[in-house]
A and B are shown apart, each in its own frame.
Chain A
Amino acid sequence: MSALGLVTRRFLERRLLGDGDDAASPVPAAATTLTVSTLIFLLLAQERSPFETYVLMSAACLVWSAVRTFFEARELDATAADRGVLEPLPIAAWTFAAARGLVLGAELLVGTLNVALPAIMITAVVVGPLAAGRAFLAATAASLTGLAVATFLRAVLLRFLGVRKLEEWEGPIRLVVAVGLFALLFAAPDLDAAARASGVMHVLPPLSFARFCADGGAWSASAAAVVAMIALIVAALALARARRTTDERRGGGGDGPLARFVRLGVADAERAGYEFTRANLARDRTFRARVFPLFAFPFAAIVLLAKDGAGFAPLLISVYGASMYLVVAQTFVLFSESQRGPRLVEALPILDADAFRTGAQKAFHAHVTVPVHLTVLVGLAALAAFGRGPGFVAGLQHVVLGTGFAVLFGSFFFERLEGLAFCTSDDGKFPASLQNRAFAALMLSAVAALIGMNVVGRPIPYALAVLVLGLMIRLRLRRRSR
């Protein structure tokens, strides 16, 4: 076998088996994006026209490939073992690049198939096999285009920001991509009108490929679209520069008024857990990269509210969405991006682990849960100001309900985390314990509620929400009584 073959096989084996514990294969950080994309597509595609269906599916594939390429590609960058074992060997530099390209291509192909398959099946049943074939072509083409665009953007940002800065911005950019997906999904009916109004939409492969597949017409790429793309890059760079300046002015730290208020309620014994978690929440790049996209859930509620007013769906998203993202986010709180840092904590005499955990929990809610939901409230207020959405009072109710549920639900899970926040070396594993089972149960209940909403009407999902809430409270009380 040639050097290229050997190196490619090594990279593939590493991706499939991981270099950590054999008991669990690594879970790609894009898994959440992928799951969300597919789930929402499945729910929405049924009621749309073929054109919109293509748009939705292609959007999911585009986001998948872009997120995958943009950030998880770095997992294919040289690891310490690559540097120690591969680099000293007589292998040309292009071999590594080619091997990484091959592995990434294979992963994208598999990922695209995963995203596209359920959509294609639905399309085949609803519209017909020919349309499904076109849909598959559109998905593949969108993925490949997404790959090209993301690779280009990554290279540009890497050139100007450097690896460290790019990694620091990984989470926020993923959030933008995830929010963009939601916006694209919910704006689909007005897509053509929106595209005419904005050159940016022309540059999005889903629109172009959807038009190509639905109408068989040529897809356009105007100079305005190119200018819009350049403007986006420039804006992103300017934003990064502004952010850097702000960080420098702040001296790398500082709390908002809310966090200062919460700190008053942190007991001395909890202070270590609170401060340690607060610092890591802000600086742990892996945590930011994984969790920021999940904030798209509560933001999706804004989009839904703008579109559907005060229907049931926004409530569902604001309650279940908040719960889902919190469960996942809190699971990731366990892990530290540093492989060796947790050993420092292990060696420390933490006499009161419960107080440490409580401090960490308060830090999480003060710096993640509440700020995110307050931002949603600001978005709702903005909608109300423009006469859209359910109005400020109804929006406030959503946010209060969502935040309350999130804090309650989050507290329940946080107390059951097996380990201290940011004290487990991140080897890409997702702990296969209570959190996973609970997450799976929650996802199922959310799907059941959505199906119930469509099939039976509103009482069932409301009842389910109350049931889950009651269960949480009961379990929480039981734990306290122990």
Chain B
Amino acid sequence: MTIEVEHLGHRYGDLVALDDVSFHVRPGEVFGYLGPNGAGKSTTVRILLGLMHPSSGTARVAGIDVARDPVAARAAVGYLPELVALYEGLTPNEHLDFVARVRRMDEGVAKRRGVALLEALGLAAWADEPVRSFSKGMRQRVGLALALLHRPPVLVLDEPLSGLDAQAALVLKEVLRGFASRGTAILYCSHVLDVVERVCDRAMILSKGKTVAHGSIAELRATTRGTSLEEVFRSVAADADPTAIANTLLAALDA
């Protein structure tokens, strides 16, 4: 197992953010981690990156207990956040160079890989431009290059398609499949259900910090008799009927 989460729990004061969550992600597997806003996805990610200590339970990445050795755990992880924040005055090349140095990569390898990544992601022409002028999608692609640079055994992606155009999104989905086929374990956090359905092998649905569904996509559909993941999500995680909420909203405009 490359990601092992056992009985993970976390509290923010009285608020229970995670309650007895367990899952495993095997090498070569893309694991969908789903849930509405506030379900506990980001808390799990921060714990997996060693940026936060869990209140209970354990999390291991590449065999490393993240609470005991967060630095070693981060060395094994490539992470792409939903909103990629970059140093506005630095160029993609300078970002890559900095990350490669911190990760103690071989200079030649880092250089070649960086050039290839930027080329593949369509950023070669902007490799030496400060990122301040970049669009959201371009920033997302720089973030992806930073996450993939050291060829990590574990990838943690938080809404990775956010801001990407259709072409880049298609490329990323193929890249994820390619990475998985090379043995990388991928944790894919999202609430875009159709993408998860197409990209992931298995998925877990969280709601208010608790696991409400867990299994392969086919198993999840079978459990709730839903024909799509959206229906599954609606039946296990949605707090209220979306149609009713929409009607209330429209009615408010007539007030």
Q: Give Cα distance in the complex from A87 to B81, angstroms.
A: 11
**Tally of A-B Cβ pairs under 8 angstroms:** 66
- Interface positions, chain B 65-90, Cβ under 8 Å from A, are 71-72, 74-75, 77, 79, 81, 83-89
Q: Per-position contact with A for B195-206: 1 when CB-CB < 8 Å, else 0?
A: 000000000000
Q: Per-position contact with B for A424-451: 1 when CB-CB < 8 Å, else 0?
A: 0000000000000000000000000000
State how many residues of chain A have any CB contact under 8 Å with chain B.
25
CB distance from B127 to the nearest CB of A (A): 17
- Surface stretch bound by A, among B24-32, B98-106, B209-217: B98-106
Q: Is the CB of B89 within 8 A of A85?
A: no
- Surface stretch bound by B, among A16-24, A37-45, A46-54, A197-205: A16-24
- Interface positions, chain A 16-75, Cβ under 8 Å from B, are 17-22
Range for the number of chain B residues in contact with chain A: 20 to 34
CB distance from A98 to the nearest CB of B (A): 14
Q: Give Cα distance in the complex from A90 to B95, angstroms.
A: 15
Indicate whether A89 sits within 8 Å of B74 (C-beta atoms), given known contacts A6-B98, A6-B102, A84-B81.
Answer: yes
CB distance from B73 to the nearest CB of A (A): 8
Contacts of A6 in B (CB 8 A): 98, 101-102
Indicate whether A89 sits within 8 Å of B87 (C-beta atoms), given known contacts A20-B132, A84-B143.
Answer: no
Indicate whether A80 sits within 8 Å of B85 (C-beta atoms), given known contacts A87-B49, A90-B74.
Answer: yes
- Chain B residues close to A by CB (< 8 Å): 49, 51, 71-72, 74-75, 77, 79, 81, 83-89, 95, 98-99, 101-103, 130, 132, 143, 146-147
- CB-contact partner of B102 in A14, A18, A84, A91, under 8 A: A91
Q: Is the CB of B79 within 8 A of A88?
A: yes
Q: Is the CB of A3 within 8 A of B85?
A: no
12 contacts between A and B (CB under 8 A): A1-B101, A3-B102, A13-B89, A14-B87, A18-B89, A22-B89, A81-B87, A84-B81, A84-B83, A84-B84, A84-B86, A90-B74
A79 at the interface (CB under 8 A from B): yes
Q: Give Cα distance in the complex from A3 to B87, angstroms.
A: 17
- CB-contact partner of B146 in A3, A17, A80, A85, under 8 A: A85
Q: Is the CB of A81 within 8 A of B86?
A: yes
Indicate whether A10 sits within 8 Å of B89 (C-beta atoms), given known contacts A84-B81, A90-B74.
Answer: no
Interface centre among B86, B87, B146 (most CB of A within 10 A): B87
